[in-house]
Amino acid sequence: MFERFHNRTARVAVVGLGYVGLPLAVALAASGYEVVGIDLDPAKIEAVNQGRSYIADVTDTDLLVQATRLRATSDYAVLGQCDAVSICLPTPLDSKRQPDVSSILASGQEIARHLHPGLLVVLESTSYPGTTTGLLLPILEAVAQLHGWRVGEAFYVAFSPERVDPGRTDWTIQTTPKIIAGVTENCLAAVQAYYGPVFDTLVPVSSPSTAEMAKLFENTFRFVNISLVNELLLMCDRLGLDCWEVLDAAATKPFGFTRFTPGPGVGGPCIPVDPHFLAWKMKSTDAEARFIELAGRINAEMPRFWVQKVQDALNDAGKALRGSRVLVLGASYKPDVADARESPVVDILHRLLQKGAEARYHDPYILSLAEMGVPLTAVADLEGEVQKADCVVITTAHSVYDWASIAHSATILVDTRFIMKHGS
């Protein structure tokens, strides 16, 4: 198996062909492996097999170039012929805001059914410290024990957190350093051999739990700092100060300061979610993740703050929010991605509708918000809608927007992204 990684004759699998799994599958194929993607969604399987991408960071050409080395299926039996499998399954929060690891459990059982000597299993999904050794490994060992297979000897288990940042072009999946950790020394050697040809820099750490914690800390760092800069905005607002000017001034310090940007809140499948994995884990040890709880409260306050700004701006123009036509620009959680998961814009729209505003939204990538519980579809005529709106709210800085023209046509503009301050 080590030899097959080395000379790239290995067959490998990626379970979950979403935002993380599809780019990884393409990168594995590009480095020479024969790759099979496993997903439950027939539409994704068909798209991959026909060379049609549904993820912005992967082009149709990327899929077509790798067509001879990359295919997709729903059948886990292909693992019987594989040397490695990377698990890229969703790890959302459940209705109680607790980690939902059900897809890792379900998939782990499928992988266990096809476990065989020489197979390396790498978990990529973000999860709480202890997931790889405490949740995934026991599922595999339950089957392995029946055959007398031991981890690190007959089969291998590792964790390597995914750091992909959808829409980013300066750092790619290959150039972003990749943390790796094995359950045993041999497991680490196996994942090193597997990922060595794929990623420019591997960062080995001593245990899967260390790697799991590092991933959660990276995202908690962003979560807490975004909340801090959002609180700066709330404080500047109270004190009548220009938050952007304050930030510009502070950011001239050449050391010891990292600039974050205030906005409508925090969204996406990772930053607002992952810190709660850590908070949940800490609760299980009777400890509190205090920064995370506080940051969550501040970030959650931002949609209410911005809706109040809309109300105030309309009031200054002699209008009530109730009955006013409010156009929200951008529903996704960040520019140029078709992803509204945990987007604070959903909360803003809910609040506007609750207050009786005639709220509508435009987003070139998100044509309906029904799935997110907002009974709205995107308006099509951007120019006409901007002109007709009593108030336009900038929520996502999609690059297709012509800000100068929007600023020129809008009667009232509320700019949650400070576009008019920094221009893009």
Ligand X SMILES: NC(=O)c1ccc[n+]([C@@H]2O[C@H](COP(=O)([O-])OP(=O)(O)OC[C@H]3O[C@@H](n4cnc5c(N)ncnc54)[C@H](O)[C@@H]3O)[C@@H](O)[C@H]2O)c1
User: Three-class SS of residue 383?
Assistant: helix
Taking the CA atoms of 394, 397, 400 and 404 in sequence, report the sign of the dihedral they define. positive
Out of 88, 187, 270, 391, pick the active-site residue: 270
Site for ligand X in 147-186 (CB under 6 A): 162, 164, 166
From the list 4, 11, 40, 172, which residue makes contact with ligand X (rule: CB under 6 A)?
40
Beta strand ranges found along 185-252 (DSSP E)? 202-204
Spatial separation of the C-alpha atoms in residues 2 and 10, rounded to whole Å? 9
> b/e for 265-290, b at 16 or more Cβ within 10 A?
bbbbbbbbbbbbbbbbbbeeeeeebe
3-state secondary structure 238-287: HHCCCHHHHHHHHCCCCCCCCCCCCCCCCCCCCCCCHHHHHHHHHHCCCC
**Which is closer to ligand X, CB of 34 or CB of 124?**
124
Q: How far is the CB of 213 from ligand X (least distance, A)?
A: 15
Q: How far is the CB of 70 from ligand X (least distance, A)?
A: 15
Residues in contact with ligand X, counted by CB under 6 A, come to a total of 26
Residue listed under structure tokens 């519980």: 373
Q: How far is the CB of 242 from ligand X (least distance, A)?
A: 32
**Is 270 noted as a catalytic residue in this protein?**
yes
- The alpha carbon of 109 is separated from its chain's Cα centroid by a whole number of angstroms, namely 25
**Which is closer to ligand X, CB of 273 or CB of 392?**
273
Q: How far is the CB of 67 from ligand X (least distance, A)?
A: 19
Site for ligand X in 89-148 (CB under 6 A): 89-91, 103, 106-107, 125-126
Spatial separation of the C-alpha atoms in residues 272 and 334, rounded to whole Å? 13
**Which is closer to ligand X, CB of 104 or CB of 328?**
104
**Which is closer to ligand X, CB of 262 or CB of 267?**
267
Spatial separation of the C-alpha atoms in residues 348 and 331, rounded to whole Å? 10
- Piece of 32-40, 189-197, 238-246, 309-317 that binds ligand X (CB under 6 A): 32-40
From the list 36, 47, 72, 88, which residue makes contact with ligand X (rule: CB under 6 A)?
88
Contact assessment for residue 194 and residue 265, using Cβ atoms and an 8 Å cutoff: no
Contact assessment for residue 121 and residue 21, using Cβ atoms and an 8 Å cutoff: no
**Which is closer to ligand X, CB of 105 or CB of 320?**
105
Long-range own/partner contacts, residues 370-378 (CB < 8 A, 24 or more apart)? 372/340, 372/343, 372/346, 373/346, 374/346, 374/349, 374/350, 376/349, 378/331
**Which is closer to ligand X, CB of 1 or CB of 56?**
56
From the list 21, 99, 108, 264, which residue makes contact with ligand X (rule: CB under 6 A)?
21
Spatial separation of the C-alpha atoms in residues 270 and 132, rounded to whole Å? 19
For the chain, how big is the Rg over CA atoms in Å?
24
Q: How far is the CB of 55 from ligand X (least distance, A)?
A: 8
| C-beta nearest to ligand X: residue | 18
Site for ligand X in 223-262 (CB under 6 A): none
Q: How far is the CB of 420 from ligand X (least distance, A)?
A: 28
State the binding string over 329-368 for ligand X (x if CB under 6 A, else -).
Answer: ----------------------------------------
Site for ligand X in 268-327 (CB under 6 A): 269-270
From the list 26, 34, 39, 415, which residue makes contact with ligand X (rule: CB under 6 A)?
39
**Which is closer to ligand X, CB of 39 or CB of 390?**
39
Site for ligand X in 65-84 (CB under 6 A): none
**Which is closer to ligand X, CB of 89 or CB of 331?**
89
Query: Is position 20 an interface residue for ligand X (rule: CB under 6 A)?
Result: yes
Q: How far is the CB of 106 from ligand X (least distance, A)?
A: 4
- Per DSSP, 31 falls in state T
Tokens of 247: 């930030």
Sorted by sequence, the CB contacts under 8 Å of residue 385 that are 6+ apart come out as: 327, 360, 362, 379
- Piece of 46-54, 85-93, 233-241, 414-422 that binds ligand X (CB under 6 A): 85-93
Contact assessment for residue 71 and residue 107, using Cβ atoms and an 8 Å cutoff: no
Enzyme catalytic residues: 270
Contacts to ligand X by CB under 6 A: 15-21, 38-41, 44, 88-91, 103, 106-107, 125-126, 162, 164, 166, 269-270
